[in-house]
Amino acid sequence: MKFTLIENLGYRSLVVVEHLGRIAQFALRITACLLVPPYRFRRLVGDVYDAGVLSLPVVCLSGAVVGGTLSLLGYTTLVRFGAEEALGALVGLAVIRELGPVLTALLVTGRAGSAFAAEIATMVTTEQLDGLRMMSVDPVDFVVSPKALALLIAMPLLAGLFAVFALMGGYGIAVGLLGVDGGSFMASMEGSVKFWNDVIGSFSKAITFGALTGLIATYRGYISEPTAAGVSAATTGTVVIGSVTILVFDFFLNGFWGV
Amino acid sequence: MSEPREPEFRIAFDGVSLKRGDRVIFDGLSCGFPRGRVSVVLGGSGAGKSTLIRMIGGLQRPDSGVVRVADEDITRYSERELFKVRDRIGMLFQGGALLDSMTVAENVALPLREHTRLSEKDIEAEVDRRLVAVGLSDAGQLYPRELSGGMSRRAALARAIVMDPEILLVDEPFSGLDPINVRRIEALLVDLNRHLDLTLIVTSHHMASSIRMADRLVFMVDGIAIAGPPDELLKNSDERIVEFLVAESDSFAEHHELDVTPLMDRRTLPDRRKKS
């Protein structure tokens, strides 16, 4: 029994290591395709539209709601200490440093990442990728690379918008509902949020998460089994693995670099 | 009955073996496909017909043995090397494999845009010519989801021949089609072979069409191939062939006498044989 458990653990570890190796190889292939002509601007624009523009409603709405909630929660705590004028700092720092990039990445993984994974997996199932290969067209170059790059481009832009809507939501609730002075809300936010440390740090996080989401979504779609269950597994796998990876990377980025 | 590789074969399998899990797909399979002829690969479900065609296109590698395409051993070729071989091959997949984000015309134009420096005007003209050739002159702006099964296969055929390949691989072109569409596709394939001098390899369950089209039949049974001219093979008393023929005899009787005028406009295709 013990031996079987150890054997099982060893086998699973090997599978994980093998996948990590394949993902690294896949990332190199995508990078090479993006650097070497032909550059596929038309496909890239279409994919940025799918990943970015179509994610706008969900990202903006979520941003506003998260900002408002943060204001409500922060106010009930800060008012006990008579520090409600620090609400702007709390909302600003929490949204810009942490919630903006992380929640945007989770939302985009669930919406655009899973959609890209499903699209690529369906192309595997319907032999569209094999069709490209038979036309001497590399599917990684033609299909995968523009999608991965699109997520990398869209993620920081969406994270920025999420933060703007969250700050607006937080300000609206604080000033309009809770009666916090608008000037002190903005002044405390201005005083505590540092451009290089917080804003650029947040931007770097969003880029990192965009690269991770792009890589995981396209890889899961590309290696999927050519069956309906394969498409489903690719979609679920993208959301689960993508979300966990984003949270783990966020921890290390915060821990090691203070971003 | 497995035959050795012969020099006139455009495509040849030499002692090819392949297993999937415990299941043996090919067991030392050896057979050849002659240049400029129609070869039809017959066999029951799971006999390895599609796998055989995918191996010719380099989409699947054998466990052992050699696959030669146009005198090149492609067995261990890298993806880049395979691209050069595939420039000479067109393939019609069972489901068409048209890119569903593109219109039919964009699908047909794709190989031209990727591999030639033709102007957009020339590409459009070439696409129109191919669509007329397959009887889809009005379908260029439709998306694959708007096509019927027969139309989808004809559109995929237009894409497969747009680069004037030397070899055309066709996987189950008749499955799921009504008798009229079966005859349309059959007529198109035969015309392509006659007029473009294509080496045509077709996998099929469809006995009647296969016998009408084939210069050479290849029966896939028990992981090996039994090949030869249709007349010889149909007289063959090999019990595995007889068994297959009996199983397919209903389909044969149903379609053998059917006659539908081919829809292909032959004038739209260049006649390579005349040139040579």
pLDDT tens column, B28-52: 999 999 999 999 999 888 889 999 9
Predicted confidence at residue B1, as pLDDT, reads 45
Q: Is B249 left (phi over 0), alpha (psi -120 to 50) or beta?
A: alpha
B-contacting residues of A 75-134, CB under 8 Å? 123, 126-128, 130-134
Distance (Å, whole) CA A155 – CA A173: 26
Sign of CA dihedral A244, A245, A251, A254: negative
* Record: contact B86-A136, CB cut-off 8 A: yes
Residue B248's pLDDT band, with cuts at 50, 70 and 90, is low
Predicted confidence at residue B270, as pLDDT, reads 62
With b for 16 or more beta-carbon neighbours within 10 A and e for fewer, the A232-256 pattern comes to: ebbbebbbebbbebbeebbeebeee
Q: Is the pLDDT of residue A146 over 90?
A: yes
B93 φ, ψ to 5°? -80, 160
A-contacting residues of B 9-48, CB under 8 Å? none
Q: Is the pLDDT of residue A114 over 90?
A: yes
Residue B154 in domain: yes
Cis amide linkage into residue B229, ω under 30° from 0: no
Predicted confidence at residue B211, as pLDDT, reads 87
Q: Choose from B50, B60, B110, B152 for mutation: most chain A CBs within 10 A.
A: B110
Would an 8 Å CB–CB cutoff place B8 in contact with chain A?
Answer: no
Q: Choose from B81, B93, B170 for mutation: most chain A CBs within 10 A.
A: B93
Q: Least CB-CB distance to B97: which of A46, A127, A138? A: A127
Residue type for position A162: F
Distance (Å, whole) CA A180 – CA A78: 11
Q: Is the pLDDT of residue B202 over 90?
A: yes
Q: Taking residues B205-231, what's their average pLDDT?
A: 88
Residue B111 in domain: yes
State which of A94-103, B200-209, B245-254 shows the largest mean pLDDT.
Answer: A94-103
Would an 8 Å CB–CB cutoff place B154 in contact with chain A?
Answer: no
- What domain range is B118 assigned to? 97-164
Residue B230 in domain: no
Q: Least CB-CB distance to A130: which of B59, B111, B163? A: B59
Distance (Å, whole) CA A98 – CA B150: 54
Q: What is the number of structural domains in chain B?
A: 1
Residue B262's pLDDT band, with cuts at 50, 70 and 90, is very low
> For residue A33, which residues of chain B lie inside 8 Å, CB to CB?
none
Residue B187 in domain: no
Residue B7's pLDDT band, with cuts at 50, 70 and 90, is very low
> For residue B156, which residues of chain A lie inside 8 Å, CB to CB?
131
Q: Taking residues B250-265, what's their average pLDDT?
A: 47
Residue B212 in domain: no
ipTM computed for the complex: 0.84
Predicted confidence at residue B256, as pLDDT, reads 45
Q: Taking residues B226-253, what's their average pLDDT?
A: 71
Q: Least CB-CB distance to A131: which of B83, B84, B93? A: B93
Q: Which residue of B has its CA nearest to A125?
A: B97
Predicted confidence at residue B183, as pLDDT, reads 87
Would an 8 Å CB–CB cutoff place A69 in contact with chain B?
Answer: no
What are the tens digits of pLDDT across the range A129-144? 999 999 999 999 999 9
Residue B140 in domain: yes
Would an 8 Å CB–CB cutoff place A22 in contact with chain B?
Answer: no
Chain B: nearest CA to A135, how far in angstroms?
A: 6
* Record: contact A133-B59, CB cut-off 8 A: yes
Interface size A-B, in CB pairs within 8 Å, comes to 54
Would an 8 Å CB–CB cutoff place B79 in contact with chain A?
Answer: yes
Query: Tokens for B35?
Result: 């240049």
Predicted TM-score (pTM) of this structure? 0.88
Q: Taking residues B62-66, what's their average pLDDT?
A: 96
What are the tens digits of pLDDT across the range B136-160? 999 999 999 999 988 999 999 999 9
Q: Tell me the helix, strand and coil percentages in chain A, rounded to 5.
A: 90, 0, 10
Distance (Å, whole) CA B227 – CA B248: 18
Q: Taking residues A42-55, what's their average pLDDT?
A: 96
Residue B246's pLDDT band, with cuts at 50, 70 and 90, is low
Would an 8 Å CB–CB cutoff place B83 in contact with chain A?
Answer: yes
Predicted confidence at residue B266, as pLDDT, reads 53
Would an 8 Å CB–CB cutoff place A35 in contact with chain B?
Answer: no
Q: Least CB-CB distance to B83: which of A46, A128, A136? A: A136
Q: Is the pLDDT of residue B276 over 60?
A: no
* Record: contact B115-A130, CB cut-off 8 A: no
Q: Taking residues A66-87, what's their average pLDDT?
A: 94
Q: Which residue has the higher pLDDT, B109 or B246?
A: B109
**A200 and A100 in contact (C-beta within 8 Å)?**
no
Chain A: nearest CA to B274, how far in angstroms?
A: 27
Would an 8 Å CB–CB cutoff place B95 in contact with chain A?
Answer: yes
Would an 8 Å CB–CB cutoff place B114 in contact with chain A?
Answer: yes
Distance (Å, whole) CA B130 – CA B133: 5
Residue B245's pLDDT band, with cuts at 50, 70 and 90, is low
Query: Tokens for B16?
Result: 């090819």
Predicted confidence at residue B257, as pLDDT, reads 47
Closest C-alpha to A150, from A1, A254, A42, A231: A42
As a whole-number percent, the residues of chain A with pLDDT over 70 amount to 98
What are the tens digits of pLDDT across the range A147-187? 999 999 999 999 999 999 999 999 999 999 999 999 999 99
Distance (Å, whole) CA A138 – CA B254: 43
Predicted confidence at residue B271, as pLDDT, reads 64
What are the tens digits of pLDDT across the range A199-218? 999 999 999 999 999 999 99
* B83 CB-near residues (< 8 Å, 6+ apart): A136, A138
Residue B6's pLDDT band, with cuts at 50, 70 and 90, is very low
Q: Say which range, A58-67, A118-127, A186-195, B201-210, has the weakest mean pLDDT.
A: B201-210
Q: Which residue of B has its CA nearest to A38?
A: B114
Q: Least CB-CB distance to A134: which of B89, B95, B99? A: B89
The mean predicted confidence, pLDDT, of chain A is 95
Query: Tokens for B18?
Result: 């392949």
